[in-house]
Structure 1
Amino acid sequence: MPRLSFASFSVAAVRVAAAGAGVSLLLSGCLGGNPPGSPPSESSSTTASPTSGATGSPSPVGHSATTAPSGVYKPADAKGKAQNVPVPVMPELAKENSKEGLEAFIRYWYATFSYATESGDIDAWVAITDTTNVVAAAYKDALERNYAQGRWMVGGKITTPAIEILWTPGASTQEAKVQVVQEEIQYINADGTMGKESTPLSNIAEAVFAEYASGSWRITDNGMIVG
């Protein structure tokens, strides 16, 4: 995996950037638009899809396995919502308190958010995210709003081509830099009409902060790297 060469960042700078993104959009890779993971606006509907993989089988550090629900997977389109979306499965490695474990967990975390945006089911993402912080709360609100009253999203799949773990031995909270790429998102109203203006494909760098406690990881903050 290529190493990232992003400019240095501070927690404060990341949080400011992320808060601004939360007001506008969700979970994207913010190229010419909104940052990865940043929620869409209220005027329409938000999303991203899971990484495909062998059903129910563990996956290597770079990928998150998925398990397919019964029925044939059908991506969302202008005529209807996604159906039978493969559910991301956390690899065993992602449960380890190690540099490799954190990398696997971060990939899984983005896969759950991608799944939430495509399916409207946020439970897996919420379970491993501190939704009390401003950014995560905005993401959660955007996901819920964009699937309210029969609305849905098309596109928005997320990939994480590169992750650089900034490991601090012995620390309970660790940091990482992540390249987040998100496909274009279209917002569809319940009656099939287009909602807000689509969000273009994005490709940004995000800072991610994770805490290891009681035998598992949890994302405590994230946001676009600026400066």
Structure 2
Amino acid sequence: MKSVSTRNLAFTAIALLAFTGCGAQASGSVPEPDTSTTTSAVVASSASAVEETAGAEETNYSGGSKAPEGEYRAADEHGPAQNVPKPVAPEGMNVESTDAMLLFINYWNDMRNYAIQTGDTQDLKHMYEDTYEADLRFIDSVDKLYKNGGWIIGLKRDVHANRELVTHLGNSAYSLGANITVENGIINEVQNIKSIDNSEANLNGYEIIVTFKDGEWKVSDGKVVK
């Protein structure tokens, strides 16, 4: 790998995990869907900020070589993940119901993991309201990292939503309690390597706020609840 110059670079990791409680008590569920309502499928919590690095001059391949078409290879010290399957939006997601909301949450998380492995963040950004500033900063940092030749190893996460902890906040906004487990990982910034240990952060709780508007779900906010 060729050496490159690097500008000032900052990385902040916020791990998102097990829901232990939030201010409001869960009361009721999302209304049952109106089956006449259909929309086009849309693509839509750890968070971090990575500032700009200098562009790399070489192509790096996980496993040390370019993978054959269709062969998935996870990211490693040699390069980013290859041939990562892009998640497909599930049917029945774009209605206002508890089941549909949970489909959306899983799809959103899958798209977030996809972006972490590929640097392709365009569709993921569409799944957010502007109010979720922390995660949007994280997405921008991922975009910059990959454009400047870096990549991420690990840091994929699983969301374990608890449908018993759904609170209707009014105006088609809902609070959801979830357990979120995040892998440890490495941020490869070409010249700098940063290790992320999520073992303690995984003990925290997490609350996700989502809104159903104009026939689709959006993630509005999220916060750690200790």
TM-score band w.r.t. shorter chain = 0.5 to 0.7
The DSSP-based 3-state class of the residue aligned with 1:181 is: strand
Matched-pair contact (CA < 8 Å) for 1:176–1:207 = yes
Determine the C-alpha separation between the residues in 2 that align with 1:158 and 1:181. Answer: 5
Give the gaps of 5 or more residues in structure 2.
Answer: 1-10, 19-44, 54-68
Q: Rate the CA distance shift 1:145–1:169 in 2: closer, same or farther, 3 A.
A: closer
Give the gaps of 5 or more residues in structure 1.
Answer: 1-22, 45-69
Tell me which residue corresponds to 2:194.
196
Determine the C-alpha separation between the residues in 2 that align with 1:71 and 1:197. Answer: 29
Tell me which residue corresponds to 2:99.
100
Amino acid aligned to 2:79: G
Higher strand share: 2
Matched-pair contact (CA < 8 Å) for 1:130–1:136 = no
Larger radius of gyration: 2
Tell me which residue corresponds to 2:46.
37
Determine the C-alpha separation between the residues in 2 that align with 1:39 and 1:132. Answer: 16
Amino acid aligned to 1:215: G
Matched-pair contact (CA < 8 Å) for 2:177–2:208 = yes
Matched-pair contact (CA < 8 Å) for 2:161–2:176 = no
The DSSP-based 3-state class of the residue aligned with 1:197 is: strand
Tell me which residue corresponds to 1:88.
87
What are the Cα deviations for residues 169-221 of structure 1, in whole angstroms up to 9, with x where unaligned? Answer: 9741111011111111112133xx55123334452421111111111111111
Determine the C-alpha separation between the residues in 2 that align with 1:123 and 1:105. Answer: 17
Tell me which residue corresponds to 1:119.
118
Identical amino acids, percent of aligned pairs = 23
Determine the C-alpha separation between the residues in 2 that align with 1:100 and 1:214. Answer: 18
The DSSP-based 3-state class of the residue aligned with 1:128 is: coil
> Map of 1:119-138 to 2, 5 A cutoff?
119-138=118-137
Q: Rate the CA distance shift 1:170–1:93 in 2: closer, same or farther, 3 A.
A: farther
Q: Rate the CA distance shift 1:173–1:162 in 2: closer, same or farther, 3 A.
A: closer
> Map of 1:1-227 to 2, 5 A cutoff?
24-25=12-13, 28-29=15-16, 36-42=45-51, 71-164=70-163, 165-168=165-168, 171-190=171-190, 194-201=192-199, 202-203=201-202, 204-226=204-226
The DSSP-based 3-state class of the residue aligned with 1:112 is: helix
Q: Rate the CA distance shift 1:81–1:168 in 2: closer, same or farther, 3 A.
A: same
How far 1:144 moved relative to its partner?
2.2
The DSSP-based 3-state class of the residue aligned with 1:113 is: helix
Matched-pair contact (CA < 8 Å) for 2:185–2:195 = no
Determine the C-alpha separation between the residues in 1 that align with 2:147 and 2:17. Answer: 24
Higher helix share: 1
Matched-pair contact (CA < 8 Å) for 1:131–1:140 = no
Determine the C-alpha separation between the residues in 2 that align with 1:156 and 1:88. Answer: 17
Normalising by structure 1, we get a TM-score of 0.66
CA RMSD, 1 decimal: 2.6
Normalising by structure 2, we get a TM-score of 0.67
Q: Rate the CA distance shift 1:148–1:172 in 2: closer, same or farther, 3 A.
A: same
Determine the C-alpha separation between the residues in 1 that align with 2:169 and 2:189. Answer: 48
Amino acid aligned to 1:149: N
